């Protein structure tokens, strides 16, 4: 397809977006503390962003089906720009919450619209590979962003937010000037057509895929929230080493998403790759229970990251193929379930950690088993529907 040539541009856009987002990660806790936030308020500050994404991602997805991808993508990136700038000039705690709420509300347009863009410009055969490329861009952004933020935070805690705002502004200009619209006017849905779209999304077997995404993001966010404490207790790993471990994990995931996932899907199909990813994730969780030093932590976490990393692109591809609603609505719901997992995962994993330090990873194995069953149910029901149609 001719429009497929814009995928490298979208790759660059998502890399820049996530690099800007990643810049603030190592600085946010210290900046919030400087303004006067206590640990509970910091947790709420982190959670409110995901909560806004949970609510508004499906709405933005539906709007992209109605008005096109480019304007909604611009709204999402511009929202990040405003949010980062408000953070940089904040002097009161309420200002941080206002910036975080506004950022979550507007930036929730970015991910579902980008995935819908990929679905618009790719054939079903190439969609999983292209979704993997976008996943790799996101992963690389999260790797380089925190490193940049850590370097410039030495100048001042405000500086990374100004840099992130500038980077997001440049990205929005890049989208405005160079990225072409992917959804022709004749393919857009009317308001009357969208009223039933959410109910349609939950009426078929595709609901199994949405719940599977919740399981995946729940277990991942739980690991991210507790692993620093676990690694310190089990292997005396400090913050600097931990940063390297997560960087290695991110590079391994990005390599698989950007380079291997297309070949895997072509040979085995999205379904088999998802099942393989779930199994590898479960093995990774089990191995994490055995870490004893930096090398084993980096290796075992990378095994988990590779398994977890191949699931999301394949899920995105399958959902856009099987969805009976607009691509934006479908990917918006996927982002919403992802956000729901990221809201629920950290506090529950933290509670499990206080009971027994390895319990979050044991629960990850159990959730992986549940995810495998969900995909089995989806595959079985889909086959039955095909036979019925014949």
Per-domain residue ranges for the chain? Answer: 1-178, 199-390
pLDDT in tens, 34-67: 888 887 787 788 788 889 989 999 999 999 999 9
Q: Is the overall model pTM greater than 0.75, yes or no? A: yes
CATH of segment(s) 199-390:
1.20.1250.20
239 has pLDDT over 80: no
Q: Please state the three-class secondary structure of the chain as a single string.
A: CHHHHHHHHHHHHHHHHHHHHHHCCCCHHHHHHHHCCCHHHHHHHHHHHHHHHHHHHHHHHHHHHHHCHHHHHHHHHHHHHHHHHHHHCCCCHHHHHHHHHHHHHHHCCHHHHHHHHHHHHCCHHHHHHHHHHHHHHHHHHHHHHHHHHHHHCCCCCCHHHHHHHHHHHHHHHHHHHHCCCCCCHHHCCCHHHHCCHHHHHHHCCCHHHHHHHHHHHHHHHHHHHHHHHHHHHHHCCCHHHHHHHHHHHHHHHHHHHHHHHHHHHHHHHHHHHHHHHHHHHHHHHHHHCCCCCHHHHHHHHHHHHHHHHHHHHHHHHHHHHHCCCCHHHHHHHHHHHHHHHHHHHHHHHHHHHHHCCCHHHHHHHHHHHHHHHHHHHHHHHHHHHHHHHC
194 has pLDDT over 60: no
226 has pLDDT over 60: yes
Question: Which of 70-74, 157-161, 315-319, 384-388 reaches the highest mean pLDDT?
Answer: 70-74
Q: Tell me what pLDDT residue 196 has.
A: 53
199 has pLDDT over 60: no
Quote the mean pLDDT of the chain: 86
Does 199-390 match 1-178 at the fold level?
yes
Confidence category of residue 323, pLDDT binned at 50, 70, 90: confident
pLDDT in tens, 71-97: 999 999 999 999 999 988 998 999 999
pLDDT in tens, 117-153: 998 988 888 888 888 888 888 888 888 888 788 778 7
Give the percent of the chain with pLDDT over 70.
Answer: 93
Confidence category of residue 190, pLDDT binned at 50, 70, 90: low
The correct answer on CATH 1.20.1250.20 for the domain covering 1-178 is yes
Pick 146 or 212 by higher pLDDT.
212
């Amino acid at each position: 397809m001719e429009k497929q040539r814009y995928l490298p541009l979208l790759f660059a856009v998502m890399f820049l977006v996530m690099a800007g987002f990643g810049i603030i990660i190592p600085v946010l806790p210290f900046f919030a503390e400087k303004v006067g936030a206590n640990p509970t308020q910091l947790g709420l500050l982190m959670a409110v962003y995901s909560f806004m994404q949970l609510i508004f991602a499906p709405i933005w997805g539906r709007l992209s089906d109605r008005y096109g991808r480019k304007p909604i993508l611009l709204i999402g990136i511009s929202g990040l720009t405003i949010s980062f700038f408000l953070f940089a000039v904040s002097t009161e705690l309420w200002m941080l919450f206002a910036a975080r709420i506004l950022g979550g509300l507007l930036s929730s347009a970015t991910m579902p619209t980008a995935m819908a863009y990929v679905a618009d410009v790719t054939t079903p055969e190439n969609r999983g590979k292209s979704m993997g490329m976008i996943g790799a861009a996101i992963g690389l952004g999260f790797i380089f962003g925190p490193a940049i933020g850590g370097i410039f935070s030495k100048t001042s805690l405000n500086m990374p937010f100004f840099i992130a705002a500038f980077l997001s502004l440049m990205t929005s200009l890049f989208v405005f000037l160079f990225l072409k619209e992917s959804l022709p006017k004749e393919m857009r849905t009317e308001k009357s057509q969208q009223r039933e779209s959410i109910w349609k999304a939950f009426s078929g077997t595709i609901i199994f895929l949405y719940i599977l995404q919740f399981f995946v993001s729940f277990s991942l966010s739980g690991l991210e929230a507790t692993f620093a404490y676990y690694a310190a207790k089990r292997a005396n790993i400090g913050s600097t080493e931990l940063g390297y471990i997560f960087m290695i994990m991110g590079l391994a995931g990005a390599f698989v998403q950007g380079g291997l996932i297309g070949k895997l899907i072509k040979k085995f199909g999205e379904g088999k790759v998802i099942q393989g990813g779930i199994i590898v994730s479960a093995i990774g969780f089990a191995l994490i229970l055995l870490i004893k030093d930096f090398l084993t932590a980096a290796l075992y976490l990378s095994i988990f990251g590779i398994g977890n990393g191949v699931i999301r692109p394949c899920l995105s591809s399958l959902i856009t193929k099987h969805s009976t609603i607009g691509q934006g609505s479908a990917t918006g719901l996927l982002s919403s379930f992802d956000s729901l997992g990221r809201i629920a995962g950290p506090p529950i994993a933290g509670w499990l950690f206080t009971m027994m330090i390895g319990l979050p990873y044991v629960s990850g194995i159990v959730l992986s088993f549940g995810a495998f069953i969900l995909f089995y149910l989806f595959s079985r029901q889909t086959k039955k529907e095909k036979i019925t149609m014949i």
